[in-house]
Amino acid sequence: MYNEAVKQGGLAVVTGSASGVGLAAAMRFAQAGLGVVLADLAGDALESAAAQVRKAAGDGATVLAVPTDVSDADAVADLADQSFAAGEVAVLMNNAGIGMPTGSWEKADNWRRNIEVNLFGVMNGIHAFVPRMIAANRPAVVVSTGSKQGITTPPGNPGYNVSKAGVKVMTEMLAHDLVQAGAPISAHLFVPGFTYTGMIQRFMPEKPAAAWTSEEAIDYFIARMAAGDFYILCPDNDVSSEIDHKRIAWALGDILENRPPLSRWHPDFADAFAAFEKTD
């Protein structure tokens, strides 16, 4: 559906677009000929990002910067009002996210904030935009940015994992419901690999060799979205698609074989997983 949406023109609305993969996506959508609405928290970063996209889009293109806290349903509704007032929405990319540290029995406030931004932020975007996109009856796409941590759920940050697992389920149901409604709109789950974004840069001043750039991740994503994929798991310079598939299969095997949860990291199963990951 993406190619048809671009061919018909309109706007791409990208949340979390002041930096990282959100900004890279906004740039690519502008270069494809779409107008762009950048949404992020108010500040210099959002204005700077909008200036970069305007330069990439060229004269006459619609490029708007709309300060938005995606956890605030009213703010996202206002974003939708401003976007539809500016034109038809061809792409909605619910990308904004945070990764505040949590533990299984601690940091409850961080749990809530992760879920408010990462999960409810996506829900707010879907609720504010999709009914009007369906009513427009034009080719369009809805993108949710998930995480491999929402699929294999590694130990370390359960609150983040839960929020991203919820994004996966929500987007799966959205894709199903759009088909049932007969809408000319496709949904896609964008799952970056190890990507050097602003969030990572705070801890690693220099890009690790294993990481992809935001542009590499977005280029891979757009190519697979254009091909019609729903699940778009990006590899990186350290983890291939084949390794991703092994890890996901092992995680599902925990249920099918009644192993301990997260057995990939369990001392009694670590060697078995390592051998499994190496098999052809």
Q: In b/e form, how buried is each residue of 97-106, taking b as 16+ CB within 10 angstroms?
A: bbbbebeeee
Q: State CA 263 to chain mean position distance.
A: 27
Q: How many helices (H) and strands (E) does the chain have?
A: 11, 9
What would you report as the CA-atom Rg of the chain, rounded to the nearest whole angstrom? Answer: 19
Tell me the two tokens of residue 239: 């983890």
CB-based contact 35:26 (threshold 8 Å): no
Residues written for the chain: 280
Catalytic residue positions, numbered? 160
Residues whose CB is less than 8 angstroms from the CB of residue 258 and which lie 6 or more positions away in sequence, other chains included: none
DSSP 8-state class, residue 146: -
Separation CA 221–CA 195 (nearest Å): 13
